[in-house]
Amino acid sequence: MDIRNIYHRSVPDWLLPFLEVPEMQRLKDIGMNCGCEYTGFPPFRQQHSYSRWDHSVGTALIVWHYTEEPQQTLSALFHDISTPTFAHAVDFLRGDHRTQEATESGTLEMIRGSSAIRNLLDPMGLRAEDVGDYHRFPIADNASPRLCADRLEYTCGNIIQYGFAAVDEVRSIVEDLTVGKNEDGKDELMFCSAGAAVSFARLALECSHVYVSDGDRCAMQSLADLLRDALQDHLLAPQDLYTTESRLISVLTSSDHYRKRWEQFCSLSTVLCTDQPDDTRDWKVVPSKKRYIDPYVQNAGRVTSLNSEVASLIHQFLDRSLDYWIRSL
């Protein structure tokens, strides 16, 4: 899915070689929906391809559009470079359901270990350390629920993927953005008008519900369980998680047992829920990170302080309990 021109009219020439390095090209085969897109759960079924490469390039273009600063732009480009196959499903594998940060480590080490990236950085007077931590730059990354390029890109991408809004509507929302000072006097991506901010916050919240939906959580936990068993059975090695999804699936399906399990995973389409099952063998309580965005309106404040309905919807989302048992059917 190519929506890059929503963020900036074109990729600047100086950035193009960085998109072609092997470490970035690997991300073309790492999906944005953490393996859920292989299942039959709505709204994941029949999605267009939306990869970590698409997301990374889009994030970099947003940062470039508002800063025209190569160091910040490259930090944004590389922020997902160490993402494993199936992304946050590996966080579930590692027991990190609530923060989903276990897969974020390794960015700097991967850049340091790439001669292709270092050879491109050297003529620019940049080191791996200069571009290995996008958390340093508030336009690229910002504390949740504030808006930043990373959060903006995956939200816009998924709004379109899930069919919540058309490309032209998302484009008009993005065109309302600027960089200004927030309530703490710090730079932040923010909206010029309350109307655009409210529209974005509503659409972002629709995505938030998808991220913690029973189907999403069931799919990610099922995939995590499958990967854990394949690792324990030595069909997969830990380094296989840092290849590509097509290669990892090929390894899984080389075994009759795991081919059947992979096919069962892909056929998932329905979730059963209960407060207390009679037999917990096939049931699990699956927590998840609750992602949401409370954007700032220039010279006005956060959307939740300007629109009581949106504030109420966000509070309902945050108050929703996920402490019930689920299983696939």
Output Rg (C-alpha) for the chain, integer angstroms.
20
Q: Which residues pair with 302 in a beta bridge?
A: 296
Q: What CATH code would you report for 4-212+291-318? A: 1.10.3210.10
Using CA atoms, how far apart are residues 90 and 221, in angstroms rounded to an integer?
Answer: 9
| Distant-in-sequence, close-in-space partners of 20: CB < 8 Å, separation ≥ 6 | none
| Phi, psi (degrees; rounded to nearest 5) at 69 | -120, 115
Residue 213's φ and ψ, nearest 5 degrees, are -65, 160
**8 Å CB contact between 193 and 231:** no
Instruction: Identify the pLDDT of residue 19.
Output: 98
pTM of the model as a whole: 0.96
Cα–Cα dist 264/259, whole Å: 9
Burial degree of 231 (CB within 10 A; 0-12, 13-18, 19+): middle
Ranges of residues in the chain whose predicted pLDDT is under 70: 1, 46
Indicate the domain borders of the chain. 4-212+291-318, 214-285
pLDDT in tens, 91-122: 999 998 988 877 777 999 999 999 999 999 99
pLDDT, residue 46, reads 65
Q: Which helix (H) or strand (E) holds 118?
A: helix 115-121
